[in-house]
Every structure is written in structure tokens, then in C-alpha cells.
Amino acid sequence: MKTTIPVEDGDVLAAIRAFLGRLLESGALEAIYVPLEAAGGAAVPALVTDPARMAQANPLAPVMPINGARAVSALTGKKAPGRVGAVLRSCEIRALIELVKLQQATLEGLTMIGLDCPGTFEVPRYMERQGQAGGGLGDYLAAAREGRDPGSDGLTLRTACQMCLHPAADQAAIRFELFGLDPTQGIPVDIPDALAEQLGYSAASADGARQAVLEKVLAAHRAKRDGALAAVRAQMNANGGLPSLFNACIRCHNCMTACPICYCKTCLFRSASFDHKPDHYLSAAQRKGALRMLSDALLFQLTRMNHMSASCVGCGMCTSTCPSEIPVGMIFSAVGEQVQAAFGYEPGRSLEDPLPLVTFQANEWTEVGEAK
Amino acid sequence: MTFTPRIGVYVCHCGINIAATVDVGAVTQWAAGLPGVVVSRDYTYMCSDPGQALIQNDIRELGLNRVVVASCSPRMHEPTFRAAVSAVDLNPYCFEMANIREQCSWVHPAAETTTQKAMHLVGSAVAKAALLQPLEQRQAPTTPAALVIGGGIAGMQAALDIADAGFEVTLVERTSSLGGHVGLLHRTFPTLEPTADLLGAIVERATHHERLRVLTEAEVTAVGGFVGNFDVDIRHGHEEEKVKVGAIIVASGFDVFDARRRPELGYGVYPEVITTPEFEQLSQSEVKINGREPKNVVFIQCVGSRDQALGHPYCSRVCCMVTAKQARLVRERLPNARVTVFYMDVRAFGKGFEEFYDATRQAGVLYRRGNPSELIRRGDRVVVRAEDTLLGEPVEVEADLVILAVGMAPRADTDALAGLLKLARSSDGFFMEAHPKLRPVDTAMAGIFLAGACQGPKDITETIAQARAAAATAMIPLMRGEVTVEAATSVVDEELCAGCGQCASICTFGALTLHPTKGVMVSNAVLCQGCGACATACPSGAINVRHFTFDQVMAQINVVSDFRAPVFSAAPAEAEVASPS
Amino acid sequence: MLQIEAHPITLQYDLFDCIQCGKCTGGCPMAMKTRLNPRSIILRLLTAGDGFDLEGREELWDCTTCSTCSSRCPKKVNPMETIIGLRGAFVEKGRVHPNVKTALESTFRQGNPLTMPRDQRGAWAKDLGLKEYAEGTEFLYYVGCTPSYDPRAQKVARSLVTLLQKAGIDFGVLGNQENCCGSEVRRLGEQGLFEMMAEENTETYKGLGVKKMLTTSPHCFNVYRNDYPKNGMAVQHYTQVLAGLVEEKRLEFSGKLEKTITYHDPCYLGKHNGIFDEPREVLAAIPGATLVEMDRSRQKSLCCEGGGGRMWLEGTNPSVRLAQMRVKEALEAGAQVLATACPFCLLTLDEAVKHLNAEDRLQVLDIAELAAQAL
Amino acid sequence: MSDNGNFEPRIVAFLCNWCTYTGADLAGTSRLQYPPNVRIIRTMCSSAVDPVYVLKPLMEGADGVLIGGCHPGDCHYQTGNYKTRRRYVALHEILKASGLDERRVWLRWISASEGQKFASTIGEMVAAMRELGPNPTRENWAV
Amino acid sequence: MNEQPTHGSNGRGPAALVIGGGIAGIQASLDIAEAGFRVHLVERSPSIGGRMSQLDKTFPTLDCSSCILTPKMVDAGRHPNIDLYTYSEVVQVTGEAGDFHARIRVKPRYIDPEKCHGCGLCAEACRLAGRISSDFNAGMGKRAAVYVPFPQAVPLVYTVDPEACVYLTRGVCGKTFKCKDACTAGAIDFDQKEVFVDVDAATIINATGFDVFDPNLRPELGYGVYPHVITSLEFERLASASGPTAGKITLDGTLPKKLVFIQCVGSRDRSLNLPYCSRVCCMAVAKQAHLAHDRIPGAEITVFYIDIRAFGKGFEEFYDRVRHEGVLYRRGNPSEVLRRGDRLVVRAEDTLLGEPVEVEADLVVLAVGIRPRADAQSVAEMLGLALDENGFFQEAHPKVGIVESNRPGVLLAGCCQGPKDIPDTVAHAKAAASAALIQMAQTQKVMATAHAAN
């Protein structure tokens, strides 16, 4: 049901903290995954069981150090040990759904708590922003209400967020709505009826301008996205193309480590198969007169595309973690978009959609395999 | 692992089949320089006893632990050499072949490039060999029973042989009675024996054999399992039943060519025009057309055979003699009738056939060489228009009965059955045998065999021969009581497996399941057919198909991707280049 | 318009056995130069239905009855006899070449096709003191028409007599009583006349109690051996007799004959009756003689175009003559002597040599003549 | 790109054991000539062709990669080639999107009885790769 | 093929006697042995392999004959359930179905098979090296008096040819035996005597094969007179990589430019009492014409035929292909072959032109038919079998009894029953194996019960 969480003297964060606290106190949930504010102003993803700890919880912090899907995968595995909740952004939820299909996580016993997401900043930007005036929560919420980019000159949102097409956490069981609304008057929440009763909430609708503002945000993001992807595609198809884009890659595998979809225990490229003998490198070098060290950088990226581009939700964590500032996420979004389009597949939309590469039809792409 | 490969490379001349286009000496010398190679030799015929002895000696003398033979296709001689190496206690899976004949010397000119290709192929094989692992072939017990699909003469004969040998046989016939096409025949060539005589006896035996279960109006709906242990679902009338068998014989027969596809011959338009099968029926009662005895009878051969235009390029093998037989019958039944046979070539190839053809002509049947072009109506008769190619003149022959010798076509449901049994089909649409010469009744699917016209046109004699051949081959696993289980199956590396289950969803044979506690996948070697789709599906490389592992293939790729003219590195000290021939 | 019924003929000659392989026509020496096509004739008969028009089929008279066709047919069809049968139809209707008419009439009246008087038949041997054949004589020497009347062929008969006498053979002749054997009559399609003659002659020989006969001509030899009703009479061609004598050393050659000889197999001796070796044995026994073979020898011997009544018929293409081809072949083979054992061959080949002005390079001789020279 | 007409394309082919590899053998037994620019690696099924196998040669400078499988419906493993087809579609999109020339990777259904088709396919592919010119990665060591 | 199951304790179950080690005998033996029964395989010549081993390629797939045969030979030679008796003959058979007793005569090779490695030093040393015409090469190749018929022979053991060996024919061979001196293994033993082995068998398979027609019986075709008129079998050896010319189609070093193939030589010929069709010649010629086209650039190839009998799977398609390659098929049965200058001339009628034709040729190949083996009669008497009107072994019934003979328990396989191509032969052999397996299964039951009884 739709309800509204009362907010006292405009302190939205407090209201949310209280709400999360009550989820634990009431015993509705045994633990909740949520960022806690830590010394130095960092927001650290944590699993909270003690309601008192909720005093530091800050789901509204515009930062995403990791994609929560990985965390949830870790704490549910093939079955959640207890009644666990997780505060997640849309990109985290969609990644989580892919991981569920890949049997790396389960929604069983998990309560997803989502928020409308106006976007996040890279961790360093977030830290900078902390200090600044107008960089506070109020401004962030206002941006959400007006449907404008919370970023400001010099302090821009993560590019992935600027072009996010899923700012609303539609699949979450509990959903905090921010777009087009003034939460200081009470925070509209979508919540399962049973839970609402248990916590003693009653139905109350305050939809306001949310839909309109959401449209506006999407429009802006779509425009941004189209431009950005067009740009990166231009680069990929330019002379040198993709290889030159990855020339800066140092094969640190950060992108893979940060990627919520890359679930392998050990990446193929870290396995014995790519742990070559010295003579291998020598003969490889002899072929072209020079061999890139570490080798197979592009092969690694292409193989990763091949493994996960169908499931890529565009969270951009790869870009965020790339020390060489290669627009990895942009590239993968560009590729992913085409692969997903080919199969009419939208990652994270629903558990019902099977992964495109583990299913098939007898009578599809019948032209493929026949000489043109 | 501390294993160091000691590889022997053996390059075959295959007489001149390889040596004429590939510089065998150069290949041999080049191979000697490859990592892990300790000996490299060439010889005229590696497959010959001395060739094999050469390899066996080196395994003993030089302590080889991997062997590469560069010769013909592994589909040809892999078993030969595997047997040869295992005879001296080298695991047969430590052997690899380079196909430098079918895929090199036979398809390219004698040139440097061809030799280079051969070198790459050998190098690729050596690279793989270095990573090969010994595998064990296991034996699985077989179900001492057989399934025969089709109750025609082929199916019955095969079923009877297997049952006579002491095994339970289930015979599944789609229609309500046994006998198939032969049941529709009147008499047989070349003996003119009434069909009923020979067929009756067989049907009788089939229906009363203690170990033979005949299911009419039945069909196979699903086939699972593998050689030695098939699980077959049969729909029998209204009930479904499951049977377990060790071997399956397909004897599903053929369809008759539809003469309407040659409209110029007027079949279906002129009542005077009938087909050979229809004449079989007609000839059992009084031969009358339009209520009167025909005075002029014309047979037309190759209707729907030797006809590329209609996609039947093949010869139907029986029509010539069927025609000769029917022409004889006409002469017997209607002594005053003129009988003319139009033919292109008279194919009287079987035992007693040419003699029968002679006798048919002696009986007054006129054979005219030519393939009639059209039939037209003239008054109360039809006129066959053709060229007598031996006169070199167009001719018109009036007829009041025209018999079209229609050919044999693959059954319309061949596709469905092929899908059910995973059988391949030849370009002519009939089921494809494993090898046209030496394995005429086997299929690519172990434990499934072909009998009769479902493999291609045959007369009764050949059908029975082939049915019994299929029976003999099918009996082998049943009599052995065991089959060898494929050793090159999938295996899961528990360290790498994340249990994502993509492999399980992709596996056709349900060979992969999630371990209840370990959270990793488990492969069932008996169910696994070794296709390798799972390995492709696994992003972490946790699943490999033995003998075709990721590392082995990548090693091959590393060699063949390097198209530079092969570099001769000085052969390592212990490596030896030898050429006894 | 010369209509005949085809169907009876197809049955009479088992033409349905034919598979139209063409082996007959392929080997037919006349097919090379005329319209004659045995295979095609058979097919036309088979496909003729009721009526078959012989009008304009003059090529049927080209056939030399050399039997190449029949001797090679894999299906045992006999095109040669079929053609002879068809000639019969012409004869019945009296539609034959005047020469043929004359030959037939002459045979009927004079007992020879050469229009020679019956009472001159024995004249050639006047001075030889030959005895009349009588019961008990070992051999009846059947001379034959051509050797009896033709001056060139007479030499053969004389030589043969010399040889037989030298070998001390007990033989007799019939002189003017000798009657034509009817061989050519039969080949010309006059079956009726032939059967009449065969009957008469058989009676005569029975009456004389002839047990063994030898002939000059392979044609006579053949007709007695194969066409006459069985009569318990053993017929031999003289070359067989000579070969026997040579082998038994009853006939020995003291003289020498420093000649290169090639032997032309007469059709009626070779292809018809499979006698290839005896003539060669005789030649081989001649001291000094070198035997060479032409490419076409034995079963492949090229017909001289003298058989099947062709002695009286030019044929439809006289411009090409097989005898001349044959003579050229003999010359190619490097022979100085072209030996044969048949009067017809002798005459046709002799004429060919003259026609080619090769008399100085090549001599045509009968084996009997050669043997006699070597005595 | 006819100026590249004279260069020798390098093609790596992965052939399924049951159909295309056998078809290639048939081309051999039938002595059907085709360009020697191809190197064949045998796999049990086309579905066993890991995209890495296709990408690796392309990185090494091979000008084309051929995947050969049984015709749809003929797969010895029933449905392997259907899976191959999807993987190929995905790979094609990746190559297309990432500006690596997808025209260098071919999938072809060639049965055991189609020796002629195999030979002509190689011929066509060599010609097509000539048209495309050398794979840039031939020279690019930094991949 | 390791650890074969064998019925009955250490193989003393019912056994089968297979007479003839051609593809038919080999296939039947392998099937029976694979099913776990013992087989006594008896081959008269020094090696198994039979006619098929002489062929170059096989129609219509063109795979090389020895390539597909050699593995089978090796399997048969290696099979633990097969006792191989080569250079041996069955001389006597008694008993009845289920309980036959046969006597095998093992001829002396004058070589100890245990010691011989088939190295061939003896053959090199032999005084007659390169002077004895090789039957395997249809008389075109030469070998020594001590020999293996062909390199892939199974077993690879040398044999001294008693007809040729100087010592065996004249009692003395120079001062010293060159072969003995050469043999490092000391395998040569001129004191070897023939030995007789008695074996029991539940069933007997007769797979004695066929002979080819002797074209001297068709003198007009000039075989034996013209060196460049050869038989199809001789052509196979010429075309074979392992043949006397290593696959070069030539008799005198120069490649023939004009080839003429003549079909039905000794087939469909009632005048020679060979009325039947030999079944294989049409396709054999098509194949050889293809090989000639393949090996001799620009060769003009003509095939004379009566009817083209391309009846088998893929045959018509192959015939189409050969014509497509430019081989000229002319309908007509050549009447004679003549010499004209240094060329041969084939005279025939092109029955479709309706004209006699003369075709020049550098090489004429006679497609000789299949005949019963010369010794069919004596084998038939030894086994108590009937022959049909053409001299092939008579089957029990032309349709349902094609592998059974008139004698219960004795079966027929391959061309000894009538002309067959390789697939038909293999099928026939396997059919015989089926009948044999039934017999043996039943015999085994009897044995088992008998065993249980006492």
C-alpha cells in the first residue's frame, strides 16, 4: 500500500533512520544492509542488526562505493540465512536480479528497500561535496523534487547516473519516493500491506508531481545517454577503434572486481589457463615483434563483454574503479545495449526473462549460417 | 605438475597421397624442433604393421608419453593408432592426429604453402598433445533387448534374427498390420514366386515368436539414454508404455514417388495411366482397363528417378526389374497384347536379373530406348510420345494401358524420426549410414542401426541382407553384455565453479546438476555425450570436456594463429629426425 | 513397295534377344562403306509392327555373310542369317539384280552359278588321270564350281591334286557329275532352290557311300558342314587334310621357298568354322618361308568381299574395295606373298593386286599352290 | 580494397566433428581443391566453440574465423547448433558494437555430405577476406 | 580392442570357421569376434585383404580402398578372438551344423612367422629380386621369390614362393643362400613342412570370393596382343599409389592422352556362357574414368557402354559428375580393337548416332567381369555345397535365404555367391554373421546345458 512516513521538523534523514530502526525493532527484519556514516564522512555499506546503529545510517548519501548486489550476493548466497533487508538503488536491484538468475543470490527471505535515485557522485567528489555549502541533503532532495541534476559545476554526478534510465527502484518491496515530492512534509512509501499493518501504517496517497518529474528526469538522462553513447561508439569505430581505447588498460581487473555481474570465483584470465610459461610470451612476442605486457588485455575485455554484456545494468562501477580512467562502463553500455536489443532482453527487469544465452528457439535467425 | 611431455611425431607419406604434395621430410624435420618433441619420423604407410611397430618401438625405447601421427583424417585411423599405442601400454588418449591428407594434401597443390599448412597442423597437434591427459574408458552393462521400428520385411527380418539369437525384441509398426510395401506385391522377380509365399512365412514367425513382441498401430514418441541402455516411449493404441533396450534398428521404409509431379505423363488424368504398385493390385484380378482387355501396353521407366529436376537424382534400383516382371506378367495374362517398355538404361544387375531381362525380351516384350516426353489423348486411346533414341526418330505409340514405373522416395516423416533419433540424412533425403562402404548399417548414433529402404532404395533381397546385417551389428553389444562409455566427457573444477548453473540449463542430456551441499555443479559421465556446450557456457572455465579442454584448444589456436612461415629452430639435442623409408 | 511381315521374322531369328549393343555393326566390314547396319535393321524389324517395307534397302545385298556380326554377338543373335532371310523376301518377289537372277538360273540349269556348261565341269583335270570316286575310296575330293571352271582357281585344284598324290592319299572326284553345293544360292536368299540341291546332293553322296569329303573352297566346306541336313559324312577343308599329312610326316617339302608370307584367313574357314591354325601349320612347314601376321588376322581377318553372292554383285559402293585394303595391309606387314585358302579370296585379292599395280611386290597364292611349289 | 587483392588472408576454422569436419574430409576424398589459407581445429560440436576461441585468433591477426556446424535440426547433439547460433549472434553484436569487423567471423552449416559446399565456402571466405584487407590487429601488438 | 569378452571359458565356446580373408571374410569374422565368439579365419594367400586391397579408390565416395580396408585388416589380425590362418587352406570338413570338424592345411612359408619382422632384407637379397611378376600388381609389378604381396599385408610375414625360388625348384641356389645370409632374424627355414590343424566350428562361412574374366576369350579386343589394352584390374594397380607406377597412369612412362574404356567384357555375354551382369563394372569404369580425368590433364576419355547400371546409393550422382567432368559416354559395344600406326583404334557402332565409329586410343581399358573362382567346384565338393548355373555358390533362397547354402550351418558371404560391390559385400557378410551368431548362440545354449548335465 502507499503510505506516508511522518517527518518531524523537516528532518527527512531522521525519519528514514527511525523507519529502518523500527523494521529491526519490530522484528520484521533481523538485519538490514545500508550505508553507515563513518569517521571522515565516508558512507560505508554495512549490515546492521542493532537498531541503535541506525543513527548513522544514511541511505540518502549520494554515493555508491560498491554495487550492493555484490554485497547481497555475499549475504544471501543461495538462501538468505534469515529475514534480511537491503537498501538498494535501482542499478543495484537490477544487478541483483541478474545475479539471482545466475544463482549467485536469492530473493528468498530478502526484503529489498529501494529509493528514488537522483544519482550518485564518485567517492572523491562526494567527499569534496561534504564540505561545501549547498552540497547538503536539502539541495539533493530539492533537485529530486524539481527533477534537475543534483550535480553542480566541478561536482558532477557519475556519468552512469547522468544517463541512468532506471532512477526509480520499481522492483523493491519497500520504495521511498522522492521525485516531484517534498519529503519534508512526509515521505511517501510503497510498502507491503502486511508489513504496513505490523508497523501500524495506514494508506495515504501523496503522489503529487512524481510521474511528471520522473518523465523529465528520464528525458534528460536519455538525451545525455544518447549523446554519450554516440560519442563512445564514434571512438570505438574510429581508426584504431576499441583496441586504442583500451591501450591504457593495465589489466588490473578492477572493472571486473567492481562489476556486480562478474561473479566468477576466479576470473578465467586469472586462472592457470592464462598463467603462461615464459616461452609462451617469447614466441608470442616474436609474432608481431612486440607483446603487450600484461598480455591479452583486449581479449580480457572482449571476453568479459561476451560473458556479461547481456546482463550489464550500466551501473558504471567499472568506470568508477578504472585507474586509467577508461570509459569502461560507457563502452560496455554501448555494447550491452546492442546485445540486449538483439535478444529483446532487458537485464534486471524480471526473474521471468531467461538469460538469452542459455535458451534458444529452433526457428530463429534462420538466415544465420547460410551463405549470403 | 612435474609432468614433462616426451612427444613422438610420425609423418605419413600415405604412398604418394601425402608425399606428392607435401614435403614430408621438411615437416618431419620441422616437427623435431617443436617443444616437447623427442623424435620425429616419416614413413610410407604409418597405418601398416611396420608403421605401427615403428611407433611402438619408440614408445618402448625412447619412453615417449605422447604420440602425434600426421596422416589421414582421425575419423579414418584414430582407432588404429590408439589401439597401437595402448598395445604398448600408452594410454590411447595420449595420442593425437594431424589431418594432413583429407584436409591438406588432397585439397591443395604441391606447393610451399601446402607444406606450411601441414606444418601448422602438425604443430597444432603437438601443442595439444603436450597437454593431453590419460583417460579411462569404462564399460557399462547393456540391456539385452532390442527395438525395431517398422514392420516391413526389413523390420521383421531384423527382429527375427535378434530374437532367434535369444534376445527380447519389440517391433513397433505404425499401421495395423505387418508386411509393409512387400505385402502389396503380387509376385517377385526374378523367380516370379508369389510374394505371399515368402512374406506369409515371415509374418507368421514374427507374430508367434516367443521373444518377439509386435506392437501394431504403435509409434515411438521419445528416445532417451544411449547405446546399451535406451529408454523408449511408445504410444501403443491409446496407452503409452516405456521399454528399455540395448539397441535400436530403424526400418521405417520408403514412400512411393507421386507420379502427379510429372503432369505431362497424365497420371490422375487418364484412367489408362497407372503406376507399377497399382498394377501389382490389378494383376491379381483380371487385367481390364475401361472394362476391356488392353491390347497395347506401354511401360515407362524412371518416373521420379534419375530426375534432378524433381530432386530425385538417384536411381530407384528396383523399377527396371519390377517393370520386366510386370511386362512378363502382361505377356502371360494377355498373350495378344503388345508390350513396349521405354527405358534409358536397363539396370538388371542382380543375381539372375540379366537372365530375367533376356527372358522378358524373349517373351516378346519390346524394349525401346527413350524417355517418353508426354502422353496425349487420341480417341479412346492414349498416345505415348517419345524418341526412340536408337532409331534416332520421334515415335508415337498408341496404348490402352500405360504403366509408370514410379521410384522410391524418402518417407515424408523421415524428418520427424531423424529428429527423434538424432540421425543424419544423406543429400538424397534417406537416412545416412556411418560409412557407405564399411559401416553400411551403422549410424552416427552408437546403438542405432539402419535396415532396408529407409537408408536408400533396395529390392527385397538387398533389404533382407541389410536387415540381417543390421541385426548382426545390433547383436554385438547385446552379446558382449557391455558397452564402452565415452571417456571424453565433461568434468567440473570445483575450485573454479561458482555453481551458476548456466551449464545445466544448456545441457541437452541433463548431465549436469548442482551439488546439494558443495554449491558446485556435478557432471554425469554416462549421460554426458561430450558435446562441450557446457564448457562454452561457463564463463570461469570451470567445466572442460576431457580431450578437448580449453587449454588444449587454446594451445592449438596459438600455433595456427601464427601464420608466419614456420621457423626451423635447431632440433633439441635428444630429438632425432629419422626416415626409415 | 516391298512389304513383308516383320513379326514372324523377329520370332524366326530371335531378334527379341537383341539388346542393341551394336557389336554387330561396329565390326561389320560393309558398314564402313555402305548403309548396311545390322543392328538398325534388327531394331526396325522389332519396331515395324505388322508391315515392313524392304523397298530401297539395297544395302541388304552388300552383306558378304562374313559372320563377323554373328560370331561376336554377346546375346547369340544372328544378324547375318537375318539378312539372308530378308534377301529371301526379295527373291520371292523376283525383285533381284539381273546378275543374281543369272547366277541362280545357271545353278539351277548348269549346276554352277558361273553360267558354264555342266559337261565341261571335269575338263580341268583331263590330263591328271584322276579316278572317279567309287564306294570304298577314302576321300571324295569335292572340287567346287570356281576351281572347276575358273582358270586361275583351277591351278589351286591342280596343285592340291599333286599334293594329295604325293602324300599317297586315296581320293576320287565326280567330274561332270559334281554338282554345285548351293552355298552361294543359299546366301543369295534362294532357300527353296538350296534345299532342293541339298536333297539331291545328299542323295548322290549317300548313293556313292561317301564317308569322307575334302573341299577346295571353305564355302563348300561350310555349307556341307553346317547347312546340309546331317548325313554322317565327315567334311574337311583341304588345309586340315594337309596339316594332318604334314604332322604325320606323310607330306614333306624338299624344296625351299625363300619368301615372306602373310596369311589371309578366309571368313568361311576362320570366323565361320574356327579353323585358324591348320593353314598356318602347313605354311610353317614350308622350308625357308617366313610367316608374318597382318594386324587383322584370325577372328579379326578382314573380309575380301567375295562371299554372300558378292562375286556377282558390285554392291552399293564399289568405289571402296575391301580386297584392296587387305592387299595394302599385306604390303604394310612386309609380305611378298599373300597366302589364302579360298578361291573367292584368291580371285578378289588377285584382282586387287592388279588394280593397285602391286604385282611386282605382292603375289597372291593359295596355300595349295605354295605347298606344291615347295615339294 | 582491391589493392589488398594480393595479400594472403589467414583463416582459422573450428569445425564440428560430425558434420563440417567430415564434410571437409569429403572435400579431401573428392579431391576438391580450395585455397590453403585455412587452418582447421576439430571440436566435437559447434556449440563447443567458446567465443574466446574466435576472439583469440582475431587478436593474433588472423583475418577470418569460420565456425562450421551441422545444419539446424541435424545436430549430432540435437540442439548444439541452436546454442551456437545464439552465441554467434551475441558475438556478432559485440564485434559490431566494438568496431571490430564482424564480417571476419563466419558461421556456416555444412553437412558431412557437403564436401563441395565446404570447399566453396573456404573459397568465398578467402575472397571476402581479401576484399576486407588484412586484419588491423596483424600489426597492432598492443592488444 | 583390449580385453575382449569371450563366451565360454577362455574362448572354448562355439567357434566359427570363416573361409576366405577378403573384405567379406574379414567383416564376418570381426562381427562374430566382436560379439565374443572365437573365429578361425582361413586365407589361402600369404595375407588377408583380398581383391579390395588391390583397388585404388572406391566408388562413389572415392575414399582410398586400402585406407578403409587396412584398419579392418589390422583389427582382424590383432583381434584376440580371431585365429588367423594365412597361406592355408581348408582341406576337409565333416560334421553338421553346430558341430563341424575342419582340417586346415598350413602351407610352408619357409619363413618362421614368429621370427620374421617383415623387414624385407631377404627380398632385397634374393637372386630373383625384381624378376617375378607380382600377382598383387596384376602381373605388372615385379617382386622377388621371397615376398609379401603388398606393404600393408597382414600378417606382415614374408613367404618364399615355391614356384619361383631357385632353391626350391632346382634344389640349389648358388654357393650360399643369399636370403638366409641377409636375414638378421634367422627366420628363413627351408626345412619347413606343411602342417595340418584340426578345428571345431559350430558354423562355417564360405567367403572365397571371385576371379576376373580372362579377356583372351574375346580375341577381337586384342588383349595380350596389344600391350596398351589392359584390364580394369590392371588399371587399378596403375592408378594405385602403392602400385607399380606409384599412381602414375602409364605403361611406358608417357601419359596416355586418349583413353577408351570398354564395358561388359565378359559380362552379359551368353555366347561365352556368362549371361549375368557383373554389377560393379559400370561404376568401376566411372571411377577409373574420373581418376584418369583427374591424373591426366587434358585426357580425352571415352566410355563405351550398353546400359549404365548406376543403381546404388550415390551412384547415379557420381555418373552425372563424371560426365560433367567431360568424360564422353558413347552407347555401343565395341566390336574390335585394331592397330593403326602407333595408336590403337577401337571400332564400334555409336548406336545413338546409328553409325559405325573408329576411336583412336593410347590406352584401352577392358572392364572385365566377375567370374566364379576357378576352384569353386572343388571347394563346393569339399563343403558339400551346390553351385548355380553360372558356377557361383547357390543360396538357399534368392530372397529370404541369401546367406544360407543348401547345407545347414554352412553360410555364404560376398562374391562367392554372385557379383557384388563393396557395400553389398559387407552387408552380405554381416548378414552371414547374423545367421552365424544365431547358430552359435543356440549351440552355446546346448553346450551350457550339456556342461550343466555332467
- Closest alpha carbon within chain E to B15: E241
Answer whether residue D52 shows pLDDT above 90. yes
Q: Sorting pLDDT into bands at 50, 70 and 90, what band is D3?
A: very low
Which residues lie below 8 Å from residue B7, measured CB to CB, with a gap of 6+? B34, B36, B37, B38, B64, B65, B66, B67, B68, B126, B129, B130
- The burial class, CB within 10 Å (0-12 / 13-18 / 19+), for C76 is middle
Cα distances from B322 to residues B294, B313, B316, E329, E424, in angstroms, run 19, 19, 11, 26, 20
Closest alpha carbon to A118 in A159, A40, A28, A179? A179
Contact C26 E268 (CB under 8 A): no
Q: Give the number of beta-carbon pairs within 8 Å between A and B.
A: 57
How far is the alpha carbon of C49 from chain B, nearest alpha carbon, in Å? 9
- The burial class, CB within 10 Å (0-12 / 13-18 / 19+), for B208 is exposed
The Cα–Cα gap between B522 and B491 comes to 8
Answer whether residue E280 shows pLDDT above 90. yes
Q: Characterise C17 by phi-psi region: left (phi > 0), alpha (psi -120 to 50), beta (else).
A: alpha
Answer whether residue E212 shows pLDDT above 50. yes
Q: What is the DSSP code string of E290-358? A: HHHHHHSTT-EEEEEESS----STTHHHHHHHHHHTTPEEEE----EEEEETTEEEEEEEETTTTEEEE
Domain assignments of chain A as residue spans, ordered by start: 2-224, 248-368
Residues 123-162 of B with CB under 8 A from D: 124
pLDDT at B476: 94
* Residue D140 vs residue A342, higher pLDDT: A342
Side chain identity at residue C161, one-letter code: V
pLDDT at B571: 43
Is residue C5 within 8 A of residue E316, CB to CB? The reply is no
The Cα–Cα gap between A192 and A111 comes to 10
| Residue D47 DSSP one-character state | G
pLDDT at E452: 76
The Cα–Cα gap between B346 and C18 comes to 13
Which residues lie below 8 Å from residue C317, measured CB to CB, with a gap of 6+? C33, C34, C62
Q: Is the ipTM of this complex over 0.85?
A: no
Residues 21-40 of D with CB under 8 A from E: 26, 29-31
The Cα–Cα gap between A243 and D95 comes to 12
The Cα–Cα gap between D26 and D110 comes to 11
Q: How many helices (H) and strands (E) does chain C have?
A: 16, 10
Residues 355-394 of B with CB under 8 A from C: 358, 361-369, 388, 390-391
Is residue E68 within 8 A of residue E412, CB to CB? The reply is no
Which residues lie below 8 Å from residue B170, measured CB to CB, with a gap of 6+? B145, B146, B147, B148, B213, B215, B232, B234, B243, B245
Which parts of chain B register pLDDT below 70? 1-2, 567-581
The Cα–Cα gap between B141 and B138 comes to 10
Q: Which CATH number fits domain D11-138: 3.30.1760, 3.40.50, 3.30.70, 3.40.1000?
A: 3.40.50
**Within 10 Å of residue E307's Cβ, how many Cβ atoms?**
25
- pLDDT in tens for each of the 372 residues of chain A? 889 998 998 899 999 999 999 999 999 999 999 999 988 888 999 999 999 999 999 999 999 999 999 999 999 887 778 899 999 999 999 999 999 999 999 999 899 999 999 999 999 999 888 777 656 888 899 999 999 999 887 789 999 999 999 999 999 999 999 999 888 888 999 999 999 988 888 887 766 789 999 999 999 999 999 999 999 999 998 877 888 899 999 999 999 999 999 999 999 999 888 988 888 888 888 888 899 988 899 999 999 999 999 999 999 999 999 999 999 999 999 999 999 999 999 999 999 999 999 999 888 998 898 876
Q: Average of pLDDT values for C49-57? A: 86
Q: Average of pLDDT values for C148-163? A: 97
Least confident of B265-274, B441-450, C150-159, E103-112: B441-450
pLDDT digit string, tens, across residues E345-373: 999 999 999 999 999 999 999 999 999 99
User: Is E314 in CB contact (< 8 Å) with chain B?
Assistant: yes
Q: Which three cell numbers stand for residue A167?
A: 532512477
Residues 48-87 of C with CB under 8 A from B: 75
pLDDT digit string, tens, across residues A82-128: 899 999 999 999 999 999 999 999 999 899 999 999 999 999 999 88
Q: Average of pLDDT values for C154-174? A: 96
Is residue B341 within 8 A of residue B365, CB to CB? The reply is yes
pLDDT digit string, tens, across residues E160-202: 999 999 999 999 998 889 999 988 778 999 999 999 999 999 9
The Cα–Cα gap between E46 and B316 comes to 41
Closest alpha carbon to B536 in B495, B576, B506, B575? B506
Contact D99 A302 (CB under 8 A): no
pLDDT digit string, tens, across residues B318-357: 999 999 999 999 999 999 999 999 999 999 999 999 999 9
Reduced to 3 states, what is the DSSP secondary structure of residue B435?
Answer: strand
Q: Sorting pLDDT into bands at 50, 70 and 90, what band is E7?
A: low
Q: Which three cell numbers stand for residue E151?
A: 606393404
Answer whether residue E1 shows pLDDT above 60. no
pLDDT at D116: 83
Chains contacting E (3+ CB pairs below 8 angstroms): B, C, D
For residue D18, list its beta bridge partners.
Answer: none
* Secondary structure of B453-502 as H, E, C letters: HHCCCCCHHHHHHHHHHHHHHHHHHHHHCEEEECCCCEEECCCCCCCCCH
- The burial class, CB within 10 Å (0-12 / 13-18 / 19+), for E38 is buried
Quick check: do A and E touch, 3+ CB pairs under 8 A? no
Which residues lie below 8 Å from residue B33, measured CB to CB, with a gap of 6+? B568, B569, B570, B571, B572, B575
pLDDT at B562: 80
The Cα–Cα gap between C198 and A240 comes to 108
Closest alpha carbon to C79 in C87, B37, E391? C87
Dihedrals phi, psi of B300, to nearest 5 degrees = -120, 120
Reduced to 3 states, what is the DSSP secondary structure of residue E54?
Answer: helix
Which residues lie below 8 Å from residue A162, measured CB to CB, with a gap of 6+? A119, A149, A151, A156, A221, A224, A228
Is residue B110 within 8 A of residue E102, CB to CB? The reply is no
Q: Average of pLDDT values for E362-389? A: 97
Q: Give the number of beta-carbon pairs within 8 Å between A and D.
A: 127
Q: Average of pLDDT values for D78-93? A: 93
pTM (2 decimals)? 0.74
pLDDT digit string, tens, across residues B42-74: 998 898 888 999 999 999 999 999 999 999 989
Q: Which three cell numbers stand for residue B365?
A: 516384350
**Within 10 Å of residue E431's Cβ, how many Cβ atoms?**
30
- Closest alpha carbon within chain A to D69: A369
Q: Does the CA dihedral B164-B165-B169-B172 come out positive or negative?
A: negative
E295: chain D residues, CB-CB within 8 Å? none
D139: chain A residues, CB-CB within 8 Å? 288
**Within 10 Å of residue D33's Cβ, how many Cβ atoms?**
12
* Secondary structure of A162-222 as H, E, C letters: HCCCCCCCCCCCEEECCCCCCHHHCEEEECCHHHHHHHCCCCCCCCCCHHHHHHHHHHHHH
Closest alpha carbon to C251 in C216, C221, C218, C286? C286
pLDDT at C114: 95
pLDDT at B197: 87
Q: Give the number of beta-carbon pairs within 8 Å between C and E.
A: 83
A296: chain B residues, CB-CB within 8 Å? none
The string over A142-154, giving b where at least 16 C-beta atoms fall within 10 Å of a residue's C-beta and e elsewhere, is bbbbbbebbbeee
Nearest-10 Cα torsion for E120, E124, E127, E132:
70
Reduced to 3 states, what is the DSSP secondary structure of residue D40?
Answer: strand
Q: Which three cell numbers stand for residue E192?
A: 619347413
Which of B138, B354, B371 should be substituted to probe chain E, the one whose Cβ sees the most E Cβ atoms within 10 Å? B354
Is residue B544 within 8 A of residue B493, CB to CB? The reply is yes
How far is the alpha carbon of B123 from chain D, nearest alpha carbon, in Å? 11
- Please report which helix (H) or strand (E) contains residue A239, including its range: none
User: Is B120 in CB contact (< 8 Å) with chain D?
Assistant: yes
pLDDT at B435: 79
pLDDT at B564: 74
